[in-house]
Chains A and B, each alone.
Chain A
Amino acid sequence: MSDFEPTIVAFFCNWCTYTAADLAGTSRLAYPPNIRIVRVMCTGMVDPKYVIKALLDGADGVLVSGCNPGDCHYINGNYKARRRIKLLKEIIEQFGFEPQRLRLTWIGASDGIRFAEIMREMTEQIKRLEPSAARLKMVI
């Protein structure tokens, strides 16, 4: 599996994790290029269908990342995101998606180093899995 380069679709909130990604970049911290970032204003606006679409289109992993608890720019969007991720995990795991494929993290705007670490760790974990079934088969 060593030559498997996964695609990870990442929904980052504008205020915290996206800013952390920026900080990691300007600090010249290396992290795997497998992460494909979609900037959203808040993790609270990540509709379950965005995650489902990414998984069905062959993403090997989906990462949703926003502000730490209490730091949400919109007060509580990240708490709402946590419930949606809980809901989604209950659903997708029933259809054979491994739990590692969908992740939620909280990375503050100043955590550039932690951001790079988490991206490396997530990529490593996905690499240990097979490519997503949705990549290989015809998805109806």
Chain B
Amino acid sequence: MAKTARIEVMDQNLAEALRNFLKAVLNREEISAVLAPRRLPMKNRVMPALITDPQQLDQADPLSPAFAVNSARLLSRLTRKPSGGQVAAVLRPCEIRAFVELVKLKQGRTDDVVIIGLDCLGAYSNRDYFRWATEPPEAATQKFSRAVLTGSGAAMDGVDLSPACKACESPTAEGADIAIGLFGVDTAKEIWVQARTAKGESLLGKLGFAEAPEPASRPKALEKLIAERIAYRDEMFQRTRAATETLEKLSTYLADCINCYNCRVACPVCYCRECVFVTDVFDHEPSQYLRWAEHRGAVKLPTDTLFYHLTRLAHMSTACVGCGQCSNACPNDLSLMELFRSVAHRTQAAFGYLAGRRIDEKPPLFEFRENEFPEVVGISRPSAG
């Protein structure tokens, strides 16, 4: 059985080599379908597709900078009950992390899925991607992937990676069954593949690739990339915290919110089947609005904007994987990812937790210990202040 493998890239066509790899996976008897980003036939767009016909993989585009939705939610739909087949899911690292969180919440199962994770080249925001994606799709993706992998960067034609991707310090597929390495690999000639679980090892072993050592330049390349990302992230945290450090500043930050709740719909880890903010709990009595208005002389409508965002922070920030789909979904371009990541970084650190890191790690509010957090109990101890 192979723990690692080298896939040859012919004619410098990286995308084709990946597609051939996915075809080899789909041709295995035990794999019923591949979930992968695929070009739509009617428009130059890339969306996740569940593919059973190997020929349909010709349009798979896993390196495209399109990231319309976080597929974790889709994979959760495919796996919440046994489907009778096994799906190979091609996911970005943040999609894997979100899926891990959903599995912990019993909203997905790993039993019938093999996760194939790619080193993530990053993505453009939806708006930027729509603007940018004018070239023939194959050439566009090739231009993008070459630019990122040769180190010249994703900024081109007036667009750049989304802030979520620029701040992403986890661009490798840690939680995948099979991880595909691109950074620090001579991708003009080869792709480096690593099985990270027994399931991945079993599948990779059957594909008949020769073992290959990790390319020598890979650790250094990753180290450099991650250091850049952390520097961007920390600067972003600082900037965002300064912009939201009082209630008034936070209100300013969120002033353009119209309570459409798109950020919650797009969020892969906002896990409630029905959000309390759309239930009749928030169908306030008409007389209530008048009382609120009288209380302060004026009440902003729709009400409960800060209440909504703060509640969402309390409910899901410990599960936030930083995919940035909240910002992507906002019709009024609020910098939601920046706010949620800044808070999530702090709440996750408070519990020594990292969302999506390990499937056997319980979410912070799923457990407790008898003796912990003495600093939050009591009112007289100076340390409590």
CA distance A125 to B379 in the complex (A): 9
B364 touches A83 (CB 8 A): yes
Q: Nearest Cβ distance between residue B60 and chain A, in whole angstroms?
A: 40
Q: A82-B368, A87-B365, A91-B317 are in contact. Are A52 and B377 (CB under 8 A)?
A: no
A140 touches B246 (CB 8 A): no
Q: Nearest Cβ distance between residue B193 and chain A, in whole angstroms?
A: 39
Q: A86 at interface (Cβ–Cβ under 8 A)? A: yes
CA distance A138 to B342 in the complex (A): 25
The answer, among A86, A91, A137, for a CB contact under 8 Å with B247, is A137
CB-nearest residue of chain A relative to B251? Answer: A140
Q: A82-B372, A94-B342, A100-B385 are in contact. Are A48 and B315 (CB under 8 A)?
A: yes
Q: Which B residues are CB-close (under 8 A) to A118?
A: 379
The answer, among B244, B299, B315, B350, for a CB contact under 8 Å with A95, is B244
Q: B378 at interface (Cβ–Cβ under 8 A)? A: yes
Q: A76 at interface (Cβ–Cβ under 8 A)? A: yes
Grouping DSSP codes into helix (H, G, I), strand (E, B) and loop, the A interface class, with mixed when no group exceeds half, is: helix
Q: B296 at interface (Cβ–Cβ under 8 A)? A: yes
CA distance A84 to B257 in the complex (A): 26
Q: Which B residues are CB-close (under 8 A) to A105?
A: 377-379
CA distance A89 to B384 in the complex (A): 11
Q: Nearest Cβ distance between residue A46 and chain B, in whole angstroms?
A: 11
A79 touches B343 (CB 8 A): no
Contact flags A92-122 to B (C-beta < 8 A → 1, else 0): 1011110110011110000000000010011
Q: Which B residues are CB-close (under 8 A) to A140?
A: 251, 254-255, 257, 300, 305-306
Q: A76-B368, A85-B376, A140-B255 are in contact. Are A48 and B311 (CB under 8 A)?
A: yes
CA distance A95 to B342 in the complex (A): 11
CA distance A83 to B251 in the complex (A): 27
A69 touches B370 (CB 8 A): yes
Q: Kindly count the residue-residue contacts between A and B in the assembled complex, taking CB atoms under 8 Å apart.
A: 123
Within 234-254 of B, Cβ neighbours of A (below 8 Å) are at 241, 244-251, 254
Count contacts on B: residues with CB < 8 A to the other chain. Answer: 47
Q: B290 at interface (Cβ–Cβ under 8 A)? A: no
B310 touches A91 (CB 8 A): yes
Q: A134 at interface (Cβ–Cβ under 8 A)? A: yes
Q: A80 at interface (Cβ–Cβ under 8 A)? A: yes
From B300, B310, B379, name the one whose CB has the most chain A CB atoms within 10 angstroms.
B379
Q: B79 at interface (Cβ–Cβ under 8 A)? A: no
Q: Which A residues are CB-close (under 8 A) to B313?
A: 91
Q: B212 at interface (Cβ–Cβ under 8 A)? A: no
B311 touches A49 (CB 8 A): yes
Q: Which 8 A-B pairs have the closest CB atoms?
A: A48-B314, A96-B246, A79-B368, A49-B311, A133-B247, A140-B305, A52-B310, A86-B373
Would you mind naming 13 contact pairs between A and B with Cβ atoms under 8 Å apart?
Answer: A49-B314, A53-B307, A82-B372, A95-B245, A96-B246, A99-B385, A104-B376, A104-B378, A133-B246, A138-B296, A140-B254, A140-B257, A140-B305
Given contacts A52-B314, A80-B368, A95-B250, 8 further A-B contacts (CB under 8 A): A48-B315, A84-B365, A94-B241, A94-B244, A94-B346, A100-B385, A137-B247, A140-B254
Chain A residues packing against B (C-beta within 8 Å): 48-49, 52-53, 56, 69, 76, 79-80, 82-92, 94-97, 99-100, 103-106, 118, 121-122, 125, 133-134, 137-140
